A and B are shown apart, each in its own frame.
Chain A
Amino acid sequence: MKNRLRVLRAEREWSQADLAERLEVSRQSVNAIETGKFDPSLPLAFKLARLFETTIEGIFTDESQG
């Protein structure tokens, strides 16, 4: 699943470690989500949306929806 995590993180000048700390997950998780290798659970997706003050759709793009 494509996402804008890297952009949103860069806008706030947060490192992957900073974001991981805010989300209470490992940096490996943030990296895997950012690179599209791992899709987060719905609770974590909501947590991301709250953190970046946007919606889940504002962060993630469903690639099957052309």
Chain B
Amino acid sequence: VSTDHDIGEERKDGRLFHFDRHAADYREHFASITEELQQKCPVAWTQTYGGHWVAAGNREVFELARSANTSNDADFRNERRGYQGVTIPSPEQSGRKTATRGGFLEMDPPEQKAYRQALNAYLSPAAIKRWIPFVDEIVRACIDEKIESGRIDFVDDMANVVPAVLTLAVMGIPLKKWEIYCEPAHASIYTPPNSPDMQRVMIGYRQMIEDLRRAMLEIRETPRPGLIDAVNGVRVDGQVPPEDDLVGVLLLLIGGGFDTTTALTGNSLAWLSEHPAERERLSRERESMLDSATEEFLRFFAPAPGDARTISADCAIAGVDFREGDRVWLSWAMANRDPSIFEAPNTVDLDRRGNRHYSFGLGIHRCIGSNLARTVFKRMLVHVLDRMPDYRCDPAGTVYYDTIGVINGVKHLPATFTPGPRLGAGLSETLETLQALCTETGLSEPVTAGAGDE
């Protein structure tokens, strides 16, 4: 990787811009920073984190994300070209000595394709539809734990729990383990690298990794259906991939399944609390509005705000001369606010049509769990609208992530509402019932080719 980037280089003239997604005030100033970047230079060069490009314009992000001259590869052992994957700062720049490749998100084809093809049949719209009664039961139980009290923390008591339990179920991990996974999966994202709490968070994170590794080996010995079984069956060039690569894939599935949907739900419920008339209209007209509202919340809150790429060959894209080895940040969140594509981009319009948001990414790395995410979000939202229609979030108790550089998330979202009656069993009893359901009905099996063609 070339590191001799001179900021005086001609190709960077007029494109210099100070940009730091991890700055404490980034969340607050996101809209104005985006506006300035899009007006001045939709592809800018910033010197932060070793120097990298920032793509903020919709068209520019589109072209870069779909270019064959960009790589997602994370080559931390320097066996190929030493590329640093999809995070900026890279693990090395964050001071992390050992880094695992972030699954197939940090691979290029054909390696990446082997994993995607193995997992698609578990995550297609038809496959996810089978899980709706299961999701409804977890949501019901989470709400039942709180419904008589008139108080809930939407993140701690629901939005953390439901995606975690469902993700484990789809993977083939026992549901009762959700707590081992939940805290580390979220805390490793929202804890800034220099925080004194990081050491404690990393201990939990390593326990989670070891549990994943054990589950993987156990399922290899005694197969049971789910994503882990599918990952165990992947061959790259006819070979079983290195164990660390497989663990990285499982971590990617945990990261993708847990924190992102939680973030979308937290932000959306907070917004609906501040806009009670819109909330009432959404509940009343959900038949026609739920889909467009979901896409609009995705566009506006962009739970995963962007990904990095490495330029893999000298090329010109969107009028910029890129050199092999250049790092580029593709901001889905900023592309989603481009006024040339979205009318009134900084306004939430629950009826918005033609909503070409990039919150699931673009191209071959587009989120493989988008159907699952949409379904889980919608079910949580509908249950809340039905059972606590007058909820009010407490802004004083609301805690956003310290850094939204990785996930635009909410840590705590306390709310009050008019108490109501319980409808069924509590969470732990419900999880036992659902575990038995998974085992008996083969819910975690893939949808087989041709099943829907009869």
| Interaction A to B | no
Q: List residues of B whose CB falls within 8 A of some A CB.
A: none
Q: List residues of A whose CB falls within 8 A of some B CB.
A: none
